[in-house]
Structure 1
Amino acid sequence: MDVNGFVTDGYLVVRQAFDTATAAACRADLWAALAERGVLREDPGTWTAPLVQLPCPDTEPFAVAAASPKLATAHDRLIGAGRWTRRPTVGGEVPVRFPSEDWPGTGYHIEGNWWGGEDHWTNLRSRGRGLTAFFLFSDVGPEDAPTRLLVGSHRFVPPVLARAGEAGMSGCAAVEALQPSVLHRQAVHVTGRAGDVYLCHPFMVHTATWPHRGVAPRMMAQPGVEVPDGFAVDGWDPSPVARAIVEGLGRPH
């Protein structure tokens, strides 16, 4: 596990965090939820929206995926053993992306941790979120509208959040306050096989991409890994997540 690479780049990938049979069972449950909205697996004519947001089902396959020993080991290494809260299932939302030329409506942002009235907010300590996880339930290739991550962008966010104090600010406002050059950094895309999980620093700047020119819907959950009190930013917190925040505060800007 490349912990130093995570501190520098802001992400790492856990390949085959859960097996393909579990991923297939998760897809089946997502199709069942889509069918309740009139979106049918066997009828592409019902795939009319570019994006359908689903709450992640609380079913057994998602509990199995969430209980991945590989993920638990990674969380312990990146956050610290005993500091993160285990979920009974994957949780979060599943933005199902269908083949479409249309923009899905989401631009560059960082994830917020609590509702601030018009958007989700976060603060320098990342109160409530230790990581953002991208669970791939379907294979995702370059044509399947993969999420775009800006490599190293998480190290430019701390000075912006520091100016906002403990109250914090919205995830979109934090990105708007960055120097434009940050949005032109090298990018990587969340691609891989069903069962892969990307673990990202909570301040990773990312965006949806379009168009989706693949042949099947992209199914991916993006829950947060909860750390109730967030991280200390005085240099004493040994976790790689906190180390990246502290190093970001010390960058010349």
Structure 2
Amino acid sequence: MDVDAFVRDGFVAVRGAFDPETAAGCRSLIWAALAEHGMSEADRSSWVRPSVRVDCPDGTPFRAAGASPALVDAYDALIGRGRWTRRPDVGGSVPVRFPSEEYPGDVGYHIEGNWWGGDEYWTNVRSRGRGLLALFLFSDVGPDDAPTRLVVGSHLYAARVLAPAGETGMGGGAVAERLRPSVFCRRAAEATGRAGDVYLCHPFVVHTATWPHRGTTPRMMAQPGVEVPDGFTLDGTDPSPVARAIVTGLGAAD
């Protein structure tokens, strides 16, 4: 894993974090959840909505994906061993995107928030509550499959927006809005890959869902946070790459 690239760009892909059989088992359980919304894998005519969000199911394949040794090693490397909270499965939600030209909603640039601030989810410069955003690909995701878009290096600028707000913090959408237009001119990357890949993103990376979905199969991806209850120390003593990136952003010249 390229830790320096994570600090610089704000994300890294762990390819093959879990195996294709585990990914297939996860998809099967996601389809079972979608059946409650009237959608069937076998009946494409039931795919009448561009996006359906379900809670990430539990079950054996999700426990296996969440406990992937490759991910445990990556969390230890990016956050620090013993600092992040283990969970029994993957967690979060799964916004399933179906092939469609229709606007799906839930599209807009933001950074991740960690608590409800009354209008949106908020965070602070120490990222209290969150160490990483993880994007678990349960299906193959190509450029036509409405991949998540990540603004490369935007986490460095987001740290500087958050700093004056102190412990109180700001809403994730408000941070992204403050970064217009300069950061939005930066290069963007798309979270594409094979089922079983996981993107680990700095919690301050500006990102968005995209549309339309012009592929042929539904895109299935979970997006849980990796919890760090107390956040990070920013006085230069915290050796974690997540903290190092925040400190780098705070010290960067205009």
Q: For the superposition of Structure 1 and Structure 2, which TM-score range results when normalised by the shorter chain?
A: over 0.9
Instruction: Write out the 4+ residue segments of structure 1 that deviate beyond 3 Å after TM superposition.
Output: none
Residue in 2 aligned with 1:25? 25
Q: How does 1:219-230 map to 2 (within 5 A)?
A: 219-230=220-231
One-letter amino acid matched to 1:247: T
The separation in 1 between residues aligned to 2:175 and 2:112, in whole angstroms, is: 10
1:58 offset after TM fit, Å? 1.4
Identity of aligned residues (%): 68
SS in 2 for 1:42: coil
2:73 maps to 73
How do 1:76-225 and structure 2 match up within 5 A? Answer: 76-105=76-105, 106-225=107-226
Within 1, Cα distance between the matches of 2:76 and 2:108?
31
**Alignment-mate amino acid for residue 77 of structure 1:** A
Distance 2:70 2:182 in 1: 35
| Partner deviation per Cα, 1:161-197 (whole Å, 9 max, x = no partner) | 0111101111000111114110111111000000000
Contact 1:133 1:199 in 2 (8 A): yes
Q: What's the secondary structure of 1:173's corresponding residue?
A: helix
8 A contact 1:146–1:189 mirrored in 2: yes
- What is the DSSP-based 3-state SS (H/G/I as helix, E as strand, rest coil) of the residue aligned with 2:216? coil
Whether the 8 Å CA contact 1:104–1:208 is kept in 2: the answer is no
Cα distance in 2 for residues equivalent to 1:2 and 1:13: 9
Question: How far is the alpha carbon of 1:66 from its aligned partner?
Answer: 0.2
Q: In 2, distance between residues paired with 1:31 and 1:10?
A: 32
Counterpart Cα distance in 2 of 1:7 and 1:121: 22
1:45 is displaced (CA, Å) by 1.2
Q: Distance in 1 between matches of 2:11 and 2:160?
A: 20
Deviation at 1:60, TM superposition (A): 1.3
Distance in 2, Cα, partners of 1:103 & 1:252: 39
- How many aligned residue pairs are there? 253
1:46 aligns to what?
A: 46
Q: Distance in 1 between matches of 2:132 and 2:218?
A: 25
CA distance in 1, matches of 2:112, 2:104: 17
Q: Which amino acid letter does the alignment assign opposite residue 157 of structure 1?
A: A
Aligned partners of 1:135, 1:159: CA distance in 2, in Å? 28
Report the equivalent of 1:245: 246
1:34 aligns with 2:34: yes
CA distance in 1, matches of 2:37, 2:212: 23
Q: Distance in 1 between matches of 2:252 and 2:50?
A: 39
Deviation of the 1:102 alpha carbon: 2.0
Cα deviations across residues 15-37 of structure 1 (Å, max 9, x unaligned)? 01000000000000000000011
The aligned residue for residue 2 of structure 2 is 2
Structure 1 residue runs without a partner (length 5+): none
RMSD over aligned CA atoms reads 0.8
Whole-angstrom CA distance in 2 between matches of 1:16 and 1:82: 24
After superposing the two structures, state which structure 1 stretch, 126-135 or 178-187, moved more: 178-187
Give the gaps of 5 or more residues in structure 2.
Answer: none
* 8 Å CA contact 1:93, 1:223 repeated in 2: yes
Query: How far is the alpha carbon of 1:134 from its aligned partner?
Result: 0.3
SS at match of 2:7: helix
Are the equivalent residues in 2 in contact too, given 1:130–1:201 (CA < 8 A)?
Answer: yes
Give, in angstroms, the shift of residue 104 of structure 1: 2.3
- Offset of 1:115 from its aligned partner? 1.0
Letter in 1 for 2:50: P
- Say which SS state the counterpart of residue 182 (structure 2) adopts: helix
Q: How many Å apart are 1:103 and its aligned residue?
A: 2.5
How far apart in 2 are the matches of 1:127 and 1:104? 30
